[in-house]
Amino acid sequence: MYIRTIGAAAVATLVAAGAYAPNISTDADPSASFSAYKTYLWTMGTPSVELRGEQRIRSAVDAQLSAKRFRLATDETPDIYIATHVLTHDDPQVIATGFGPWGSGGTIDVKTLVQGTLVVDMYDATTKKMVWRGVATDTAGDKPSTNTSNINKALAQMFQHYPPPRN
């Protein structure tokens, strides 16, 4: 019985860890010439409700673009425009703990988690068409430092898929 309980706890932990890992996806226009993109400018997106959060996101995207050999266009027309979109919603979770065969002595708690989605869009400056999109979805935490770390990790995973492979 003890081994069954430990096994169930281990499976529950793995499932919970998988449920809260960031979900990353990317999509790209196969006709875009990604090798020609070298400069960028920011354009309007859907900003984070927290100004400091928006600054952290832009800084992290700037770092990823710099690592891909992009530079911010200052006195020229950029090759691409970058927009980020930050969306959040509350996700109530029911947590039940019980003892005995019918849960006698157990408790039920409702915890509200904040689910966040960060979208990074790239638009070709000449055609004005979207050429690349990265999306990361994860659970936000209570600590800004943890959220910043999670954003950096999610963006690093996202930008592993830029430029997209040629077909």
23: left (phi over 0), alpha (psi -120 to 50) or beta: beta
Rounded alpha-carbon distances, angstroms, from residue 104 to 5, 79, 98, 99, 100: 17, 64, 6, 6, 6
Sheet strands (E) in 16-164: 23-28, 39-42, 71-72, 80-97, 107-124, 130-140
User: Do 32 and 131 form a contact (C-beta atoms < 8 A)?
Assistant: yes
DSSP state of 74: S
pLDDT band at 14 (very low <50, low <70, confident <90, very high): very low
pLDDT band at 51 (very low <50, low <70, confident <90, very high): confident
Q: What is the pLDDT of residue 113?
A: 78
Average pLDDT of every residue of the chain: 84
Asked whether the predicted pLDDT for residue 12 surpasses 70, the reply is no
Lowest mean pLDDT among 38-47, 92-101, 147-156: 92-101
Measured in whole angstroms, how far is the alpha carbon of residue 155 from the centre of its chain?
Answer: 6
Average of per-residue pLDDT across 76-96:
90
Tell me which of 3.30.70.580, 3.40.50.920, 3.30.70.980, 3.30.160.670 is the CATH number of domain 23-159.
3.30.160.670
Taking the model in full, what pTM does it have?
Answer: 0.77
pLDDT band at 55 (very low <50, low <70, confident <90, very high): very high
Where exactly are the structural domains of the chain? 23-159
What are 100-139's pLDDT values in tens digits? 566 566 788 888 777 899 999 999 999 999 999 999 999 8
Asked whether the predicted pLDDT for residue 167 surpasses 80, the reply is no
Residue 33, φ and ψ in degrees, nearest 5? -100, 85
Q: What is the pLDDT of residue 65?
A: 98
User: Do 28 and 132 form a contact (C-beta atoms < 8 A)?
Assistant: yes
